[in-house]
Amino acid sequence: MNGHMTRRELIRLLSAAGFGTLISSAVRAEAPAAAPESAGFVGRLIDPTGAPRTPAAMVGGKVIQPERQLPIMHETDVLVVGGGSAGVTAAIAARRAGVRVALVERYGCFGGLWTGGMVLVVIGTHAKEGGEKKKVVRGIGDELLERLTKFDGAIMNQKPGAHNPTADPEAVKFMMDEMVREAGVNVFFHCWGADAVMDSKTIRGIVFESKAGRQAILAKVVIDTTGDGDIFAAAGAEYEQRTYAIGTVHRLGNMDRTDKAKAAGKKLPPLGGATPLPGVTWVNTRGPKANGLDIEELSRLEMEHRRNIWGQAQQLRRTPGYENVFLMDTAPQLGVRITRVLQGMYKLTYKESREGKKFPDVVAVGGAQGAQHVGWPIPYGVLLPKEVDNLLTAGRCVSADEKLLDDTRLIAACLTTGHAAGAAAAVAVQSNCRPRDVDVPRLQKLLREQGAYLG
């Protein structure tokens, strides 16, 4: 579908892509209001949600939080904290292996930076092996990408011979919901993992905050896929913290209704790359290096980036040939690339990756940004903290040297390290051992059975 896309056409496109229930509510929202918003709705009285509160107290000018017992909201085998690319594949892998899994996410959808951050291109899906382009993202991550090809407008470049597909964020959210639900994972949205529950050097679960107050979830194994290492930091694991470029992604609409010739010689703001939606581009922003854990910095950047993006969109609309372009949306989630990085049992280096160094405990293979160099085997040790037990990590905060972080944080690598961590957690539970003691050949066998590529 080319040409101007009206709201009605967008709805028709999504409808064709199979988003039936979403469309029916969208259509309802568009219909002339038969009843005003406030008419006829009566809420009923219910018991207050959550445990009785114990507020902090002012004592001698200090804020003191009194000691109190926390309700245990849930107990499980494997608890995954953070539902981004890594967390979702981890949860599905563990659950498919047959253990009970809970997945805690601070927002109301899955995908993390891929969806909420609107980072749409899955880079690093392929590597060059024996002169040939070879797909290294397989297993659960690739299954997700493949399933998106069934929907019009959900993904592009997910086909033989192509690499680095671009996905629509709503389609990814939808498919992650589907796969998590099918697997039978217990989902807890709107829960912010705030602390670790420790028994000496062993993690026993987490404390989380929600509208219902502060509660705990206990688990045999915890996987930190918060991207920022919130849980391994709370558990006392060794880590490095870095500043990194923080940007905000945005999308532009009507990019197929432009006349480039009219704008000849004019300096244009970034126009972005194609997405599966006709006429819609996504614009990546690098942004300044900043501390992604400093809330004042994050608040400033949110507002500055939005202001700049608004200004750029207005500049574009004033440019001859680009008058129809509009700012479709800014990503609801700020683009924090790197903060805490685990100092794990093994620290993988850039040099080792480019040499394609082999590891006996390989659990995934990373790809090349443009499928131009060899795949890099990822050893199990990058997911394991040195000292804390029953804890794993995956995604953009795995143990790697500074130069390799630009590869370990790519979505394809996050999908595969997540898959590996979930499978490892399941094997640990089933073998009744610590994750650092799992039988690696057994773990590798499970990963291969689940479709993962280990080289």
Interface with ligand FAD by CB under 6 A: which residues?
Answer: 81-87, 104-107, 112-114, 117, 119, 121-123, 192-193, 225-228, 230, 247, 249, 284, 335-337, 395-396, 409-411, 414
Q: How far is the CB of 159 from ligand FAD (least distance, A)?
A: 18
Looking at beta carbons only, is 5 or 388 nearer to ligand FAD?
Answer: 388
Q: How far is the CB of 388 from ligand FAD (least distance, A)?
A: 16
Q: How far is the CB of 423 from ligand FAD (least distance, A)?
A: 16
Task: State the angle between helix axes of 411-431 and 440-449 in degrees (0 to 180), rounded to the nearest 10.
Answer: 120
Looking at beta carbons only, is 253 or 292 nearer to ligand FAD?
Answer: 292
Question: Which tokens belong to 63?
Answer: 């804020």
Contact 342, 237 (CB under 8 A): yes
Q: Cα separation of 408 and 227, whole Å?
A: 11
Q: Which residue has the tokens 């807890």?
A: 188
Q: How far is the CB of 79 from ligand FAD (least distance, A)?
A: 11
Q: Cα separation of 211 and 51, whole Å?
A: 11
Contact 328, 309 (CB under 8 A): no
Q: How far is the CB of 102 from ligand FAD (least distance, A)?
A: 12
Looking at beta carbons only, is 217 or 345 nearer to ligand FAD?
Answer: 217
Q: How far is the CB of 333 from ligand FAD (least distance, A)?
A: 7
Q: How far is the CB of 101 from ligand FAD (least distance, A)?
A: 15
DSSP percent split of the chain into helix, strand, coil, nearest 5? 30, 25, 45
Q: Cα separation of 211 and 226, whole Å?
A: 20
449: left (phi over 0), alpha (psi -120 to 50) or beta: alpha
Q: Cα separation of 184 and 194, whole Å?
A: 25
Q: Cα separation of 253 and 325, whole Å?
A: 6
Question: Which tokens belong to 317?
Answer: 């609309």
Looking at beta carbons only, is 10 or 366 nearer to ligand FAD?
Answer: 366
Looking at beta carbons only, is 86 or 364 nearer to ligand FAD?
Answer: 86
Q: Cα separation of 52 and 215, whole Å?
A: 11
Query: Any idea what DSSP says for residue 237?
Result: -
Looking at beta carbons only, is 13 or 144 nearer to ligand FAD?
Answer: 144
40: left (phi over 0), alpha (psi -120 to 50) or beta: left
Looking at beta carbons only, is 193 or 435 nearer to ligand FAD?
Answer: 193
Q: How far is the CB of 125 from ligand FAD (least distance, A)?
A: 9
Contact 156, 166 (CB under 8 A): yes
Quickly list DSSP for 359-374: -TTEEEEE-BTTS-S-
Looking at beta carbons only, is 10 or 305 nearer to ligand FAD?
Answer: 305
Looking at beta carbons only, is 417 or 444 nearer to ligand FAD?
Answer: 417
Q: How far is the CB of 286 from ligand FAD (least distance, A)?
A: 7
